[in-house]
Amino acid sequence: MVHSIPPMREGLILKLSCPDKPGLVARIASYASEYQANLVEFNQFTDREKGTFYARLEIDTSGLEIPLDDFKAGFEVLGRSLGAHWHFRHLPYRMRTAVLVTRTDHCLNEILWRATLGEMPVEITSVIGNREDCREIAEKAGLPFHFIEMKEDKESGFREIDAILEAEDVQLVVLARFMQIMPPWMCEKFAGRMINIHHSFLPAFIGANPYRQAYERGVKLIGATCHYVTSELDCGPIIEQEVERVHHHHSVMDLVRLGRDCERSAIARGIRYHVQDRIIIDGVRAIVFPD
């Protein structure tokens, strides 16, 4: 029998970055305790080279002595005094997510399975494919499947996809082995909200048949990279990576099998970290606070 993970408690997630200085943790914790808010998780990181402090807090507000909106508004005084950038998210929630696919289905199946288990708070609005291969999987899961022709007029196809994302009020776009290069305007529109899975440690073995290339080079490790999509191909901030050891007796198909496992694990963790607000994007890198 499969048991789902208990739902998230009511409260807030706070993400924050600011110039580093003594006493930051104490000042943030003191603000919460002043109004009887309970810090159930506090992750922090200081980049000493940049002098920047990053933090993610999960706050139980069930005992809050003031209205929630007043608590958030009152934090603005502290946030400004710290020179901070911050973001609150209400708990619980489910992030509206669209999954884009082409032929292969292992990443799609992993996402559907983990969403069913309750491992990540997502509401999958639909599956969008430039081929029909994944239609049956989507429809068996009770999800709409949109087929978008992407042959000669790719710009028209991307405009169709964008219209679907707009109509479904999508907050996160997941490229689950969607084998098309996203146009710059879509990368900009969904900056920080579009996740891709790549079949290697970037930037290695790009182009066609990556596992054949890896096999011919006699690699000892293969992996997968989950990253945010930017207009510079496969160069967005890296969220998560996974590896598997390769031995001399492994065939090309063995590498494909191991690679699929890497891709499934990396994309699942990448989505979970994003929807749980465990990532702060800092330029070309992602600061990740794993669960």
pLDDT of residue 185: 97
| Cβ contact 101:129 at 8 Å | yes
Same domain for 108 and 132? yes
> What pLDDT score does 188 carry?
97
pLDDT of 252 reads 86
Domain at 37, CATH number: 3.30.70.260
Q: Which two tokens stand for residue 124?
A: 């999958």
- Regarding whether 120 and 26 lie in a shared domain, the answer is no
Q: Name residues whose C-beta falls within 8 Å of residue 135's C-beta, 6 or more positions apart in sequence.
A: 127, 129, 145, 147
Catalytic choice (20, 47, 162, 234) = 234
Per the domain annotation, does 237 fall within a domain?
yes
Are residues 138 and 78 part of one domain?
A: no
Instruction: Using pLDDT thresholds of 50, 70 and 90, give the confidence band for residue 12.
Output: very high
- pLDDT tier at 2, thresholds 50, 70, 90: very low
Structural domain contains residue 4: no
Of the residues 91, 107, 139, the one at which a domain ends:
91
End of a domain among 50, 74, 91?
A: 91
The count of domains in the chain is 2
Q: Kindly indicate the confidence band of residue 19, based on its pLDDT and cuts at 50, 70 and 90.
A: very high
Is 70 exceeded by the pLDDT of residue 201? no
- CATH number, domain containing residue 156: 3.40.50.170
Does the annotation count 234 as an active-site position?
Answer: yes
Residue 229 has pLDDT above 80, yes or no: yes
pLDDT per position as a tens digit, 40-97: 999 999 999 999 999 999 999 999 999 999 999 999 999 999 999 999 999 999 999 9
Q: What is the pLDDT averaged over residues 233-261?
A: 89
For residue 1, being part of any structural domain is answered with: no
Whether residues 59 and 113 fall in one domain: no
pLDDT value of position 233: 81
Q: Provide the pLDDT for residue 212.
A: 78
**Average pLDDT value for residue range 160-174:** 98
Domain that holds residue 250: 95-288
User: Among the three residues 60, 91, 122, which one is the final residue of a domain in this structure?
Assistant: 91
Q: Are residues 199 and 283 in the same domain?
A: yes
Q: Would residue 3 count as lying in a domain?
A: no
The 3-state DSSP class for residue 232 equals coil
Phi-psi region of 258 (alpha: psi -120 to 50; beta: other; left: phi over 0): alpha
Looking at the structure, tell me whether residues 186 and 208 fall in a common domain. Answer: yes
Nearest to 53 by CA among 23, 18, 88, 83: 18
